[in-house]
Amino acid sequence: MSNKKISIIYLFFFIIPYILCLSIIGVSYNSLVLHALTWRIIVGGIVGAFGMFAVKVIAQRPVLIMYRSSTRKVLKELIHFFVLERSKPVIGANLFFDFGLSMASIYLVAKFMPLSWILGRTMGWLVFLLIISLTLASYLEFESLSIYTEKKK
């Protein structure tokens, strides 16, 4: 698989969904908790961090395939962010990073989105964009990232 394909798949399969999942965390938490910008934001950050960790666990096989296939150092480092088969301190740092991003997402949504948008259709649009991004990535290179191999006759 070429570095160009890996970059495109990484964008549609990981980067865009990662940002959309953080947005979903922000919108969800702000629609559930009216006073989200108090000490309660820490609870949202913890829940969001573990939610993001669960999303990363699901994607481990394709991430490892792309990590091993890439030859550019910068691309390899970007992909390495999603690799969870490392030491416990690195996984802890990853959780802490997701905690910070989840709190930032909650804060940004509360500050820049009106309550009518948060309680309205925002969640549906975010999920729609997430599905579109994942569908495009799957269409582009499903066979290269699949764990199933076709038996040759």
Checking if the pLDDT of 28 tops 70, the result is yes
**pTM of the model as a whole:** 0.78
Q: Which two tokens stand for residue 96?
A: 């802490």
pLDDT digits (tens, 9 = 90+) for 90-142: 888 889 999 999 999 999 988 888 888 888 778 778 888 888 887 777 676 66
Q: 98-135: string of b/e by CB count within 10 Å (b at 16+)?
A: bbebbbebbbebbeebeeeebeeebeeebeebbeebbe
Distance CA 132, CA 42 (A): 31
Checking if the pLDDT of 57 tops 60, the result is yes
